Amino acid sequence: MKSKILSSGSLSRLQLLTVPLALTLTLIGGIGWYVWDSYQAFKRIQTQDMQIQQLSAEITYLDEVLTMSAHMAVATGDSQWIERYQKYDPQVIAALAEATKLIPTVFEGKASEQINASAQKLLAMEEEAFQLVQRGQRQLASELLFGQEYETQKQIYTAAMGQVTSAMQQYAENSLKTQTQKASIAILIVIATLIILILVWIFVLRMLVNSIQSIREVSSTISAVTTQITSAIQEQEELAVEQASAVSQTTATMNELGSSARQSAEQVEVALIEAKQALNLADNGTQVVSQTLNSMDTLKNKVGAIADRISCLSEQTRQIGTISSLARDLANQTNMLSLNAAVEAVRAGEAGRGFSVVASEIRKLADQSKGSAQKIANLVNDIQLAITSTAMVTDEGTKTVSEGMNFTHRSAQTFNNVANAVNTITLNSQQISLTAQQQAVAIQQVFEAMNSLNLGASRTTNVISQTKTAAQQLNEAASSLKELV
């Protein structure tokens, strides 16, 4: 996570700098190329200007050399001057050819034509003068070179050559001026480009500073949030530990309660067997017993409704309390009925002795039921001390059972003989047996639910631990992000 956040921050800054960097490199490259091209052009023009000046000076010098050599050859008759003339004449031609090649536009006008025409005439007269000198006719040669025609052609040649030389110098000056203007434009472009780059970089740096400030604010926010998350996770972890402890204690209590319920069911089964043996004596109270059975069915349905609502430990505790209360009431009623039966047996004398024995056994069975019910009541009281949130539902069930017990009591008052009492015991034993079985099943379901809760609490603890680790990593990443910016 930390490396992802750092790489993300670096990538965003690189993206922010990409455009100005690309623009800077492009402009600098363009400026550099333009400056280099201007430098090369200026260098070429400077070289060309130097060549033009050299050629202009060389042509002027060679022309004077040729003129002086021709005059000296005629004046002195010395052949060395002729040789000198012949030596420098090709150089003049080569210099003119080079100048024509270098700046052809200068030699395309009228002056160039005049130079060529007069040069040919002067060359012809000078060659003729040299031949006269070689034949010993120096006077004729002198008249030819110092004559009016020669001077006229010489003036034409000199004037045209002056125009060409001036044109060559003007061309050099114009080229230098043009390149100077280009250099000035290049300087202006460079200055404008630098101003644009400075403005762009100021804008980019402001954006970068704002981005860094935003990253710092986000990092501070992340640090604060992760601190709060860590605190909340710590509280949730403590609550999960407490919940797991409470679930473990509740599971142990439900296990003990299940054992007690199974014992109660076994005792009720024994009482039911004994009651069925005495049920044969209850033929005379069938009608009243039927009414009582209907009433107890109603009670059974109500208690069954209570059992259906057992979805948590509080509902099961209330069911056990209801059953234990019912068992105590039935045991008391059974004791009362057995006493009444014993009294009736004494009154009956010898004929009621067998019934007296049965009544005594029933009373013992009632005492056992009462003892079992008392044990269950003690367990219920212990559980109710830890579970107070189920008081309202328990009160509602108690009221329903009390109404059923009142109806059963009113039905019991109609019993006129032992058969009615035995039938009542039978019905109550059946109800207790069914309730005990349902209670055992419900307790097993609650026990399994508690195990599931315990497993869920363990998983929750693991998830909280992982979340805590992730929050710590996020906090470290935020700190690293602060250091980065």
- Concatenated DSSP letters of 44-71: HHHHHHHHHHHHHHHHHHHHHHHHHHHH
Whole-model pTM: value is 0.33
Report the alpha-carbon distance of residue 225 to residue 477 in Å, rounded.
Answer: 13
The two tokens of residue 57 are: 């000076």
Residue 481's pLDDT is: 63
pLDDT bracket for residue 263 (50, 70, 90) = confident
pLDDT at 89 over 70: yes
Residue 218's pLDDT is: 67
The percent helix, strand, coil of the chain (3-state, each to 5) is 95, 0, 5
How many CA atoms lie within 13 Å of 104's alpha carbon, on the beta-carbon side? Answer: 1
Q: What is the pLDDT of residues 384-439, one digit of tens each?
A: 787 787 667 567 766 765 776 676 577 667 657 756 766 786 777 677 667 767 76
Q: What is the pLDDT of residues 133-179, one digit of tens each?
A: 888 888 888 888 888 888 888 888 788 777 777 777 777 677 778 87
pLDDT at 2 over 50: no
Residue 288's pLDDT is: 64
| Mean predicted confidence (pLDDT) in 36-52 | 74
Please list, in sequence order, all residues whose beta carbon lies within 8 angstroms of the beta carbon of residue 59, skipping any fewer than 6 positions away: 92, 95, 96, 99, 161, 165
- How confident is the prediction for the chain on average, in pLDDT? 75
Provide the CA 367 distance to its chain's centre, in angstroms. Answer: 74
Q: What are the backbone dihedrals phi and psi of residue 310, each rounded to the nearest 5 degrees, phi first? A: -75, 95
Report the alpha-carbon distance of residue 433 to residue 429 in Å, rounded.
Answer: 6
Nearest Cα neighbor of 317 from 262, 264, 394 is 394
Report the alpha-carbon distance of residue 52 to residue 99 in Å, rounded.
Answer: 7
Report the alpha-carbon distance of residue 478 to residue 121 in Å, rounded.
Answer: 98
Other beta carbons within 10 angstroms of residue 333's beta carbon come to: 20
pLDDT at 6 over 50: no
Helix H or strand E segment including 8: helix 2-76
First and final CA of the chain: distance in angstroms?
Answer: 17
Residue 187's pLDDT is: 83
pLDDT at 84 over 80: yes
Share of the chain above pLDDT 90, in %: 0
